[in-house]
Amino acid sequence: MSNEPFKTELFLPSQAAAETEATIVKWLVGEGDSFSKGQVLAEVESAKSTFEFEAPCDGAVVSLLLAEGMSTPFDKPVITIETADQSLIREIPSAAVSIPDSPKMDIPVVAKKKSDVQGGAVCILGIGTYLPERIVSNKELLVDHPDINEDYIFGVTGIRQRHWAGTGEKPSDMAFAASRMAIENSGLSPKDIDGIIVSTTTPEVVMPSTACLLQEKLGIRGKPAFDLNAACSGWVYGIAVAKGMAAAGIGRNILVTGVEMQSRLLDKKDRGTYFLFGDGAGATVVSGSQEGHLVKNEILSADPAGLHMARREAPGYEILQNSGDSDPWMRLDGRALFRFATESFSTMIRELIVKSGWEPVDVRWVVPHQANGRILKAAAQRSGVPFERFYLNIDKVGNTSSASIPLALAEIERGLQKKDKIVFCTVGAGITVAGISIEW
């Protein structure tokens, strides 16, 4: 890893969720001054508190971006510094940070509605979910980070708690619980399932696939089963693949399950990942022969310019004892990912609305991948759909990667009515993007 100094901007740490801005009372450093990690850079005042702005690393002041006595939103930088601390590259962004050199997904917005699948409608049937019993609060995780508080974590992530798998629990166990519920809620039995797709970045073993392990637990034989890895976009990718299988006559009812067990892959020292991720599973049945919730249109894309944004070098759901020289932990380039995700989410939403022949006002819910609360708020501002129509449960479950959309969808299912229009959208490592529109 390079130790070359680089320039970056710092933001004031978010305070209570309701606070939007703060005032620099007094700078304690000036341009050209060197500082140490933990040194107080400024005294700051917000509507409800007075606090000290501490340096997150060693470095030097390049420029002060805000004069004393001036107020600023928490999403604006206040100081430019130079540092060699590489952890700042992965730091959780305080808000919508502009990253001039980050790649941008080119998703052209179409001018007319795209036709539905040839050969008949393909629908989503019942939904099934599973969350581990163990609930992990921000307070529990902050034992290893005494310099920040629960309000800060909630402010930059939108997360208050997450579920983590218990000792002895495996990905196929979670997938089985969600899949069994989805099949039952579809009014089917395992013998009616003609194929299994499992989206996961945390397979139980390298081979056989987690889908085949799930197939055994469900008692299904003689039907295709395979894993799909599109990271956080995996479940939506799986729905699109299942739609193609059903439309092609490969199977009438395809089970699509997203399962992630990421809690054992988090470096406690890495604030860019440690507070974000939870475990869980979500499943549904995609059918070409049953009446259900119509799959209208889909977007699948990927851009290798974002390969560095989210990554893990070792396979599996646990850290191997002998990982050699490879980095075994999950890593994010938080700032670059923030901008890319914000732009991609909003572009996908706009395109899916146009392709489906809808207007923004027609959309009952946008159900996004629960990536980061601030990313989703920034995306809503650019999407044309009001933020109150974005369904978020990230505060309760964290980022569950490819399981997050079905977990969120299950929570709003009871309140949905026939013909309601829903947009799903997600961004994942790869970097992948995916979205589908559904008429309920």
Per-residue pLDDT band at 211 (split at 50, 70, 90): very high
Say if 98 falls within a structural domain.
no
Strand bridging mode 363-368 / 421-428:
parallel
CA distances (Å), origin 135, targets 158, 217, 260, 279, 319: 16, 26, 16, 10, 21
* Token couple for 267: 């470096």
pLDDT at position 300: 95
pLDDT at 113 over 60: no
Asked if 254 contacts 285 with a C-beta cutoff of 8 angstroms, the reply is yes
Say if 96 falls within a structural domain.
no
pLDDT at position 295: 96
Tell me which residue of 88, 18, 21, 426 sits closest to 232, measured CA to CA: 426
Are residues 39 and 169 both part of a single domain?
A: no
pTM of structure: 0.76
Query: Of 65, 89, 113, which residue constitutes the final position of a domain?
Result: 89
d(CA 154, CA 135): 16
Are residues 80 and 147 both part of a single domain?
A: no
Rounded average pLDDT over 276-299: 95
Domain that holds residue 305: 123-439
Residue count of the chain, please give it: 440
Asked if 418 contacts 223 with a C-beta cutoff of 8 angstroms, the reply is no
Return all residues near 322 (Cβ < 8 A) that are at least 6 apart: none
User: Of all residues in the chain, what percent carry a pLDDT higher than 70?
Assistant: 89
Query: Of 39, 70, 89, which residue constitutes the final position of a domain?
Result: 89
Say if 359 falls within a structural domain.
yes
Tell me which residue of 170, 127, 196 sits closest to 367, measured CA to CA: 127
Are residues 214 and 273 both part of a single domain?
A: yes
> How many domains, in total, are found in the chain?
2
Contacts of 409-416 with CB under 8 Å at 24 or more apart are 409/127, 409/282, 409/367, 410/127, 410/128, 410/129, 410/282, 412/365, 412/367, 413/127, 416/364, 416/365, 416/440
* Token couple for 103: 């790649």
The average confidence (pLDDT) of the chain is 87
pLDDT at 334 over 80: no
CATH number for the domain harbouring residue 138: 3.40.47.10
Are residues 307 and 191 both part of a single domain?
A: yes
Say if 102 falls within a structural domain.
no
Are residues 52 and 199 both part of a single domain?
A: no
Crossing angle, helix 404-412 and helix 234-247, to 10 degrees?
Answer: 80
Rounded average pLDDT over 73-98: 70
Rounded average pLDDT over 309-331: 80
Say if 60 falls within a structural domain.
yes
pLDDT at position 45: 84
pLDDT at 330 over 80: yes
Say if 100 falls within a structural domain.
no
pLDDT at position 418: 94
Tell me which residue of 140, 432, 141 sits closest to 303, measured CA to CA: 432
Say if 108 falls within a structural domain.
no
d(CA 228, CA 434): 14
Residues designated catalytic: 232, 369, 399
The count of C-alpha atoms lying within 13 angstroms of the C-alpha of 227, restricted to the half-sphere facing its C-beta, is 24
pLDDT at position 415: 93
Are residues 80 and 223 both part of a single domain?
A: no
Rounded average pLDDT over 138-157: 90
What are the backbone angles phi and psi of residue 53, rounded to the nearest 5°?
A: -90, 105
Render pLDDT for 214-268 as a digit per residue (tens, 0 to 9). Answer: 999 999 999 999 999 999 999 999 999 999 999 999 999 999 999 999 999 999 9
- Which residue in this structure is represented by tokens 């996961």? 200
Are residues 325 and 422 both part of a single domain?
A: yes
Are residues 331 and 412 both part of a single domain?
A: yes
Say if 104 falls within a structural domain.
no
Return all residues near 26 (Cβ < 8 A) that are at least 6 apart: 42, 43, 68
Render pLDDT for 87-101 as a digit per residue (tens, 0 to 9). Answer: 666 555 544 444 445
CATH number for the domain harbouring residue 58: 2.40.50.100
pLDDT at position 14: 65
pLDDT at 140 over 60: yes
Render pLDDT for 347-367 as a digit per residue (tens, 0 to 9). Answer: 899 999 999 999 999 999 999
Prior bond of 208 cis (ω within 30°):
yes
How many other β-carbons are positioned within 10 Å of the β-carbon of residue 1?
5
Rounded average pLDDT over 77-92: 78
pLDDT at position 339: 77
Are residues 145 and 254 both part of a single domain?
A: yes
- Which residue in this structure is represented by tokens 């089970």? 255
Are residues 165 and 55 both part of a single domain?
A: no
Per-residue pLDDT band at 77 (split at 50, 70, 90): confident
pLDDT at position 74: 78
